[in-house]
Amino acid sequence: MNIYFENKEFDLTHFISFCRMHLDVNDLDDWRQPIFGFFTEWHNSSDFITVKTSGSTGEPKLISIEKKHAVISAKATLKFLDIQPGGLAWLCLSANYIAGKMMIVRALVGGLDLWISKAESLPTFPGVNKIALAAMVPLQLTNLVEKSYGMSLVDETISHVLIGGGALPKMLEDSLRQLTHACLWHTYGMTETISHIALRKINGIGASPAFSMLPGVLIGKNQKGNLVVEYPGIGITNLHTNDLVTLFEDGTFTIDGRADFIINSGSIKINPVLIEKKLDGHLPCPFFITGLPDLHLGEKAVLCMENAGDLLPGICGLWKIIEGLVSKPEIPREIHFLDHFIRSENGKLKRDSTAILLNTRAKITNYNFPQQ
């Protein structure tokens, strides 16, 4: 196994020594430190690794994962995608989180060479002709396909791309569906399931709106409609998630939102994720739906838009677009404009933290939805 890092080539033994030599647990601003830390941790005598959750739906927390379970998860993905030893894996995600850590584990377990790049919103491609496996968040792919060279570079260079860290915007998925050589996979999982447990192909033969489980994963649904996961191979039994799902007879499933996102507005249950799906592709900037306290309704649905100040002159037209796409109870009562949303280090929207800004930042402009 060869590792390519900052224009240098290492074998595994020498890279581990390099990591131990340069590891500085106090230098939190250096993007390399999580990489050094994980290689060092993986090769110590402990049976466990420590992983930080993304914090997208709450405060980040540290959990322990057995190394043998991470190996099983890595092997399942490699088998599902038929990734053969000797190929090249590309790490352009932060090694602070499970997605980046598991790219390293897949390379170690699968006998893959590993190219390590700085985790950036516009990743810098390796100087190679073929990559067997890469993983990115939607923001990275969005920035890539906006470049004139991006689509062809992904299609001609990468065999398999894992896309995780959140919902896949419709406009991005439509663009990626045009690729004919690379295989693009939207993933479903969480830190507790050691990265993804299900994938769906978004382009080419086998493309589907529904997720298929990795081998050994069993799913069900509880009375509230939440996904329940069993994955005995990695020690998961009866894991009740917050994800609302539709299950199909062929064993696949789709995500319909999260139970903890549901807005109770005057006794009407509003699912913000379903509204976002209806609006996806029709609004020209990043957005999300959330709930805010309301004196009469208890909660009200509001639309949050990022860096959309140029839309202010056409606000009436924006309301008409929204009203034409969603049902009357789903129409947001207000539109809030923010310069920037709060995202985790791996690019995942932090809804709760961003929503707090709506009540604390003086520059927010509200447009009251007319009462009917």
**CATH number belonging to the domain at 262-360, selected among 1.10.10.350, 3.90.550.10, 3.30.70.890, 3.30.300.30:** 3.30.300.30
Taking only the tens place, the pLDDT of each residue in 216-251 is 999 999 998 999 999 999 999 999 999 999 999 999
**57, 352 contact by CB (below 8 A):** yes
Taking only the tens place, the pLDDT of each residue in 149-193 is 999 999 999 999 999 987 888 889 999 999 999 999 999 999 999
The superfamily in CATH containing domain 2-214 is ANL, N-terminal domain (3.40.50.12780)
Question: DSSP readout, 129-175?
Answer: S-EEEEEE-HHHHHHHHTSTTHHHHHHHHEEEEEE-SS---HHHHHH
Sheet holding 236-247, edge to edge: 218-221, 226-231, 236-247, 253-258
333/347 Cα distance (integer angstroms): 28
CB atoms within 10 A of CB 286: 18
Residue type, 104: I
Q: Half-sphere exposure of residue 174, counting CA atoms within 13 Å on the CB side?
A: 5
305/307 Cα distance (integer angstroms): 7
Given a cut of 60, is residue 372 above it in pLDDT?
Answer: no
In this prediction, residues 282-307 reach a mean pLDDT of 86
> Domain residues of the chain, as ranges?
2-214, 262-360
54/192 Cα distance (integer angstroms): 11
Reduce the DSSP state of residue 61 to 3 states and report it.
coil
Taking only the tens place, the pLDDT of each residue in 41-80 is 999 999 999 998 876 555 678 899 999 999 999 999 999 9
Q: What is the mean pLDDT of the chain?
A: 89
What DSSP element (H or E) covers 81? helix 67-81
Distance of alpha carbon 209 from its chain centroid, rounded?
Answer: 16
Strands 158-163 and 183-190: parallel
Locus of tokens 């980040």: 60
| Secondary structure percentages of the chain, helix, strand, coil, to 5 | 30, 30, 40
Given a cut of 70, is residue 313 above it in pLDDT?
Answer: no
